[in-house]
Amino acid sequence: MSKTIFVDTSRCTACRGCQVACKEWHELPPNDTRQTGSHQNPPDLNPYNFKVVRFSEHLDGDTVRWNFFPDQCRHCEEPPCMMEADEHVKGAVVRDAKTGAVLFTRKTKKLSEAAFEKVRKFCPYNVPRRNPDTGFLVKCTMCNDRVSRGMPPACVKVCPTGTMNFGERADMLALAKKRLQEAKAKFPKAKLMDQDSVNVIYMLIDDPKRYYDCAAAPARGPLDRQQFLAWLVGPLKKSVDTVARG
Ligand code: SF4
Ligand code: SF4
Ligand code: SF4
């Protein structure tokens, strides 16, 4: 069974220790950024940030809510990125049978820009990026080098609040359900995101849209290639039908 990360956002203080630990472990260079009025930095995932803690502010009546979302690859059970990449370069994206980690290999360099855009579009969480220096596609690796040696991912190891948890899928699912039950008493909107189809399971305590557009997949449950294509063309088909009907 896969390894799984459970992210309990009700405990996240946005200290960004996980983001820094990820950069350190993978020896990723700094980004050139500038202040844009948000504490979120950098503004998005990029080839040198496999993880970014997203900050989102909202007003509920007179109460200011600040939602924190430590974003990374979800290591999907049936990875749409792998299905699409296989159409172009076999073996560009693989899934480690032992840990369940979804990995971008050196073969991703052979993907054309058009193929890369397709792979990126197929990811329901907008994760894949291309490193301009190497040409490789990059993202969170689930720290497979650490995990395959019995160590937790760097971001889990460093998290001081218990937001990041790691273990066997069954154990993490049990922990997620327990934390959800506890959280519901204080946060009635609390829910687990896409837990049947991913191995990075988030518990949110507010509407997913109030964290980030891609906090939740647009469709629930594992999708096969045909179902995913149907989802992709769905909105397009609908608008064409609407135009046709006048
Ligand atoms: Fe949140 Fe833990 Fe990351 Fe700090 S280290 S930002 S508490 S997930
Ligand atoms: Fe692939 Fe995106 Fe799923 Fe990660 S989240 S395994 S990049 S489809
Ligand atoms: Fe980064 Fe490893 Fe955490 Fe993925 S699992 S976000 S690669 S530290």
pLDDT digit string, tens, across residues 66-81:
999 999 999 999 999 9
**What are the backbone angles phi and psi of residue 148, rounded to the nearest 5°?**
-70, -10
Residue 113 maps to which CATH number?
3.30.70.20
Q: Measuring CA to CA, how many Å separate 16 from each of 8, 32, 91? A: 15, 17, 33
Check pocket membership of 203 for ligand 1, CB cut-off 6 A. no
Instruction: Supply the pTM of this predicted model.
Output: 0.90
Contact 73, 100 (CB under 8 A): no
pLDDT at 219: 58
Taking the centre of ligand 3 as the mean of its atom positions, its distance from the CA of residue 143, in whole angstroms, is 5
CA-closest residue to ligand 3 atom 1: 22
State the total domains in the chain. Answer: 1
Taking the centre of ligand 2 as the mean of its atom positions, its distance from the CA of residue 104, in whole angstroms, is 10
Nearest ligand 2 atom to the CA of 93 is 1
pLDDT higher than 70, residue 169? yes
Residue scoring higher pLDDT (214 or 245): 214
What is the average pLDDT value for the chain, to the nearest integer? 91
E-strand stretches of the chain: 3-8, 52-60, 63-71, 93-95, 102-104, 129-130, 137-138, 164-168, 191-193, 200-204
Host domain of residue 46: 1-246
pLDDT higher than 90, residue 119? yes
Taking the centre of ligand 1 as the mean of its atom positions, its distance from the CA of residue 57, in whole angstroms, is 17
Check pocket membership of 164 for ligand 3, CB cut-off 6 A. no
What 8-state DSSP symbol labels residue 46?
B
Confidence tier at 223 by pLDDT (50, 70, 90): low
R_g of the chain computed on alpha carbons: 18
pLDDT at 8: 98
- 197 Cβ contact list (under 8 Å, min separation 6): 76, 77, 78, 217, 220, 221, 222, 223
- For residue 10, the ligand closest to its alpha carbon is 1
Bridge partners (DSSP) of residue 69 are 54
